[in-house]
């Protein structure tokens, strides 16, 4: 333990941490190169060669030149995932447990919405709404 002072251990850990961070950034840049729709095949090959042949400089140049569009692509992908999830939840709520419509004896979301609309317009009373809702949900 006397051969390796605490400060040297700190510096070794710092450099190791920075190296791991750079590896994550390198993989992220490579993934962004391949998923980028605005780059052609030769441009993708050029960026990939730059990132692999001159790793530190190539990744830094890529982040400087294309960092803003990289963030926009991430945001667009996150929004698409969220929209797909919401669509799935809507479909699952309408389809019920059987996958082919609401289960026997259970009302669908549309029927409940129609009942709420009738109650809001005053076509049915609160008591009639509760009774119809109970029949749908049983």
Q: What is the pLDDT of residues 77-95, one digit of tens each?
A: 899 999 888 888 888 777 6
Predicted local distance difference test score (pLDDT) of residue 4: 77
- Please tell me the least confidently modeled range out of 2-11, 21-30, 77-86, 93-102: 93-102
Write out pLDDT tens, residues 27-66: 999 999 998 888 889 999 999 999 889 988 999 999 999 9
Q: Of the candidates 35, 63, 36, 68, which has an alpha carbon nearest to the alpha carbon of residue 50?
A: 63
Q: How far is CA 2 from CA 11, 13, 15, 90, in A?
A: 16, 18, 21, 64
Domain residue extents for the chain:
1-95, 97-138
Predicted local distance difference test score (pLDDT) of residue 125: 84
* Section 116-136 average pLDDT: 84
Is the pLDDT confidence value at 10 over 80? yes
Q: What pTM value is reported for the model?
A: 0.55
Mean pLDDT of the chain: 83
**What residues contact residue 132 under an 8 Å CB cut-off, 6+ apart?**
115, 124
* Section 21-31 average pLDDT: 91
35, 6 Cβ separation under 8 angstroms? no
């Amino acid at each position: 333990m006397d051969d390796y002072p605490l400060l040297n251990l700190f510096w070794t850990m710092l450099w190791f941490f920075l190296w791991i961070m750079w590896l994550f950034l390198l993989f992220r840049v490579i993934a962004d190169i391949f998923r980028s729709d605005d780059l052609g095949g030769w441009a993708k090959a050029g960026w990939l060669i730059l990132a692999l042949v001159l790793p530190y400089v190539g990744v830094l140049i890529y982040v400087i030149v294309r960092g803003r569009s990289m963030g926009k692509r991430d945001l667009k992908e996150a929004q698409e995932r969220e929209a797909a999830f919401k669509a799935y939840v809507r479909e699952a709520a309408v389809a019920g447990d059987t996958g082919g419509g609401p289960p026997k004896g259970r009302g669908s979301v549309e029927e409940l919405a129609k009942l709420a609309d009738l109650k809001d317009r005053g076509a049915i009373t609160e008591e009639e709404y509760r009774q119809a809702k109970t029949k749908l949900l049983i």
